[in-house]
Amino acid sequence: MIQFNRVNNIVGWLVFLVATIVYGLTIEPTASFWDAGEFIACSYKLLVPHPPGAPFFLLIGRIFSLFAGDDVLKVAPLINFLSGLMSSATVLFLFWSITILARKLIVKSADSTATKGQTLLIMGSGIIGALAFTFSDSFWFSAVEAEVYAMSSFFTAFVFWAMLKWESKTDRATGDKWLILIAYMMGLSIGVHLLNLLAVPALAFIYYYRYNRGKTSAKGAIFTLVTSAIIIGIILWGIIPGLPSLAGSFEVFFINNIGLPFGTGIIIFLLLFLGAIIYALIYTHRQGKQVLNTAVLCFVFILIGYSSYLIIPIRSTYDPTIDENDPENIVSFVSYLKREQYGDRPLLYGPQFTGEVIDQKEGEPRYIKGEDKYIEVDK
């Protein structure tokens, strides 16, 4: 087993090296089309890009831009290379995911030692799959420019690999640490792109089949699928815009209705929210509710990862040269997160080009920050 793991690690890093060389040799020398130029500029100076932003990508891009020194011409290729490195890491974790799955198919027992022939077959499967993905058109294209898709692919590959590692752990206490790591990485991925949420159903099915071996059913599979959809909904609507929206409601109420200073509502909300989380952690721990305690911890670590979004209002308060939507206060920040500037285009219902206006309804009030309170400007 030790010998197999050593070979698996060495071959995986060799595949990573091949991918890195390929992407390094084909990297874009400057800004390419679409959002790449904006992301390069915003990473270099930590500016505020179009909603809903990509704060974690910008922070890592800023680190890479520091290697340019005083040569501004090196900034673009260095931030482009960030995508190349993230893509190489994606290939690495894809390779390891393939070898984990291939070993399950080829080696009869998890405790059995793989023979040389089996090891060669498993490594060959991983190499073919990983390199096929390395040279695929869409992935290669995103790997050589400053776009968020390469880093988002890395997070997706990592959480899937981590879930497979969790599945192989027999000790539940040790395995739960992998679930918390996955939650943290999912939280970080929100600060890059929401594509990573598409991995949730796959992770949910791995969890279901791990704890229901020999007892699976169509009903259980459907329940798992519905549960994964609920988890996506909680993250997509409950956490990302939901928590800031609730904080914004507290802020408007305490400032407009009670007359307290700006920021008071947010502080009160944070104190209540932190108190609720601490209580939930203590209660579930004392009651021995391990699954519920792990779920609360996962929620907390998603929020820790999501906290990279704080860079958006922080940088906006300095009025940088690119400051889209000016999200420097909680009200404008919520609008930024909800992508309100794009409007709404329903897919299954909505106005037709031949339709006539027959009625109108008031929407939710919108506010802007005034001198001593928030002013309602639209409904």
- pLDDT reported for residue 357: 76
Residue 228 domain-assigned? yes
Residue 46 has pLDDT above 90, yes or no: yes
Output the six-digit token pair for 165.
């590692």
Beta-bridge partners for 277? none
Q: How many domains are contained in the chain?
A: 2
The Cα 55–Cα 138 span in angstroms is: 24
Residue range 313-322: mean pLDDT, rounded: 94
- Interhelix angle 290-306/172-190, nearest 10 degrees: 30
- pLDDT reported for residue 320: 94
Residue labelled with tokens 């704060």:
55
* Spacing of C-alpha 378 from chain mean position: 32
Which sign, positive or negative, has the C-alpha torsion 83, 199, 336, 304? negative
Least confident of 36-50, 83-97, 341-355, 359-373: 341-355
Both 214 and 106 in one domain: the answer is: no
- pLDDT reported for residue 108: 78
Residue 60 domain-assigned? yes
* Spacing of C-alpha 363 from chain mean position: 30
Both 121 and 50 in one domain: the answer is: yes
Strands (E), the chain: 366-369, 374-378
Both 15 and 104 in one domain: the answer is: yes
Structural domain including 67 reads: 2-140
Residue range 60-75: mean pLDDT, rounded: 94
What is the band of 131 on the pLDDT scale with cuts at 50, 70, 90? very high
Beta-bridge partners for 128? none
What confidence tens digit (pLDDT) does each residue in 90-101 have? 999 999 999 999
Both 128 and 208 in one domain: the answer is: no
| Complete DSSP assignment for 179-193 | HHHHHHHHHHHHTT-
**How buried is residue 364: exposed, middle or buried, by Cβ count under 10 Å (0-12/13-18/19+)?**
exposed
Output the six-digit token pair for 180.
């918390």
pTM to 2 decimal places = 0.91
Both 194 and 319 in one domain: the answer is: yes
What is the band of 184 on the pLDDT scale with cuts at 50, 70, 90? very high
Both 7 and 123 in one domain: the answer is: yes
Q: Which of 119, 140, 161 is the last residue of a domain?
A: 140
Both 67 and 130 in one domain: the answer is: yes
Residue 194 domain-assigned? yes
Both 47 and 123 in one domain: the answer is: yes
Both 334 and 372 in one domain: the answer is: yes
What confidence tens digit (pLDDT) does each residue in 220-272 have? 999 999 999 999 999 999 999 999 999 999 999 999 889 889 889 999 999 99
Higher pLDDT, 34 or 293: 293
Q: Are 166 and 204 in contact (CB under 8 A)?
A: no
Residue range 327-353: mean pLDDT, rounded: 81
- pLDDT reported for residue 1: 63
Residue 139: CA count within 13 A, CB half-sphere? 21
**How buried is residue 177: exposed, middle or buried, by Cβ count under 10 Å (0-12/13-18/19+)?**
middle
Both 119 and 179 in one domain: the answer is: no
- pLDDT reported for residue 201: 95
| Complete DSSP assignment for 362-374 | ----EEEE-SSSE
- pLDDT reported for residue 259: 86
- pLDDT reported for residue 16: 98
Q: How many CB atoms lie within 10 A of CB 291?
A: 11
Residue 83 has pLDDT above 70, yes or no: yes
- pLDDT reported for residue 168: 84
Least confident of 45-59, 109-123, 219-233, 324-338: 109-123
